[in-house]
Structure 1
Amino acid sequence: MYRHSLRKRVAIAFAVCVAVLSVVWGFAFFAAIKLSEDRVVTQQLEHAAEIYPAVTINPRGYDEVDSLPEKLRDWARTDPAEGTYEFTAEEFHVAVIPAGNEQGRAFVVFDVAEIEAESSEDWWWLLVITGVVGTLGVLGFGLGLMVIRKAVAPVVELADVVASIDLEHLSAGDHKRIESNRFGDDEVGMLAETIEKTLERISAFIVRERYFTGSASHELRTPLTVITGALELLEQSDLSPADEKVLARLRRATHEMRTTIDMFLCLARETDDGLYEEQFSVMPMVSQAVEQQRYLLNGKFIDVEIDALAEPIVCGHPQAFSIAINNLVRNAFEHTLDEQGLVTVRVKDNELLVTNQISSEADERHTPIETSSQGYGLGLGIVQRMCERNGWSFSLLTDEKRVIARLSW
């Protein structure tokens, strides 16, 4: 249980990390300054002890140019301006100040030749300082990681729990694995609670979907079975030609109702017992679909041509593919205008084309363009959804002369 929000915890973590590093770096720089001061004084005392009793005051003042150290005389004769100067090679620090002598200025010289450390000693100090700075950097980086990791630990924990849930196969109790109450009342707790409620609703929906499809499959098909049986009994009776036409219409309506039920149940199912991985042949389904929908051509002068350029095998849901083919064939039969023309079903290795003419002047000079399936029947929208579920592709190509429905796999 966390008492502060995630935003506040992250801010506190950064503040603590910066504060600790600032204090450590401050002490380190202060120690370096004090160490440098002590080192200079110690070097001066050691030099004075070495030349005792001839101890001279350092720095020293000079009124005359000729009294300056020999290395500085030529420079002093160039009449330098007032200020401070450093001579690295000669190891002198010089201050030029105004004075009441003949030259109008005096010189204060600090000889650092005996108090500056040797180059080897400087390298050792540089190595020590680099080691200290590197150690502090590593400690600071480790401290930052530790503090930030602790601050974002609830987010990582929630992500691990969500990642362990198989979203493709949700069960009714998966939402209970979130346990949102253990994340507190901050932003992470709100997110965990939202995910938990969402998974709970999805799980409940899946349960309802399975119950509905199971019940609907039985409750809707039972009356159709009764109607089909009654129609078979009527077919055995002596019927007048008018009654036979009515009976044929009832038979077709029953078949269409059964097909519609199969379509919507197929789309409603979240899972279908691995049927989406079956392999089946395309040509038998094409032939069956043409025969089942041929009654739509009664009274029309329409020819149907099946052009089998290949014998493809498709992987997917066989019932969904059969429903899709029936819809495409039915749509072509119903939307061929003028009650004449040609409907072509062409089967290739990776696609199926259903072409119907919408004008008797059709020719090959027009290039069809892809269009929406709206306006060509509800069945094409269902075909589109079934193709998406199975990983197939569906498109509708039209021009002024014909309509081409293409299903590819």
Structure 2
Amino acid sequence: MTWTKLLPSARPTLQRRLTTSISLLTVALFLLFSATTLFVTYSLEDAVYQEQLKQAQREIGSNSALPANMDFVEDLTRFNIEPAWPVLSVELGENTPFGEFTADGRHYHYRVVDGGFLLLDSTDIPIVKRALDDIFLILLVILLPALLITLWVARITSKHALKPFRQLSQMFIDRQPNSTVDAAQLNQIREQDVKQIACELLNALEQKAEVLEQQVAFSQGMAHELRTPLQVMTHSLELLGQTHDGLPTTSAFTRLTNSVTRMQRISSGLLWLTSTQDFSGNSDVEQTVRDTLGSLEALTVSHGIDIRINCHRPCEMPLPSEVLELIVINLLNNVIHHGKADGGQMRWDIEIDSRRVLFSNAVENVDPVNQNEQRFGVGLVLVEKLVQRFELAVDSQTEGDRFSIVISRG
């Protein structure tokens, strides 16, 4: 069974989404904390000015002189009053005991007293403005450890909060090929909703595996059923060729003969799956591959497949040539099918070495969202079973519409 490999880390994951969410929350809280700090600082400045005005009011009661930056006015009508900035305490009105406003480029704080208003010109003594640089520096110093703590919290949170999803990933994505999920692995997931998802996925995979096994069995059954008709057709063609002298030289008769021969070899290749007969020979991989693709040249040309065979060293495999031919035909169908699905260039690379052969297609623009591994179907499963029948090692991988099959001698 071929399992989809884990997607590249550049693609979105739950852990990355959680880290991003916690980071945004931290930044939002930091901005709120900074705004609150500034608000409190301006409020403290107002409290200082109001205390100075109260002290000045008491000094007026004792007939003491006002400070140089304070004045007493009967009303505020002579001021061209503008809204104070920052607008934290605009309290203009005779019913308000304290307030502040801006007029003619000067900033004032006032206090309502008997007979008028007591004004404090605070333009030249901005307490907060002198402290803003220090405040921003402190906030920036706080920001760095806050971000580090955010990453640490995200790591700890993902370790615990995302544990069931990580278990789900290990069960179905990170697992080794041909491995199974047992009840103990399912019981490790305590969250019932995630466990239900795992059970549904497991059932779907088991049903898929069962369907593929049934398709392989059906192919074997058809090979048995077609064996006799193919023999009859072969004998009939031989008889026609002997009784009609010019018929064997016609292109139609040649194509028919080649098709029947190929069907016989495919049928023989499928019958090896259930056969108990031992095979003691070897097949020349490069020669068999080239002969098979040569007989299918019209098909490869019509689909525009760029086939590149690179033989580094001669290779022989202990399996019948008809089995290797069947493998090549199955993989060619996958190249055609998934090249069309992707819409890119249909290319097939075949690398042959002394002890291994690699079949891989190359399609462009693999879409990580639209994964098509499910469409490989019985083709790759049949190839794996044929190779394992002759005790050869096989490693298959799929990603999107790309596949690679490595057949090697143990």
TM-score (norm 1): 0.37
Report which structure shows greater RCO (CA 8 Å, sep ≥6).
Answer: 2
TM-score (norm 2): 0.37
Larger Rg: 1
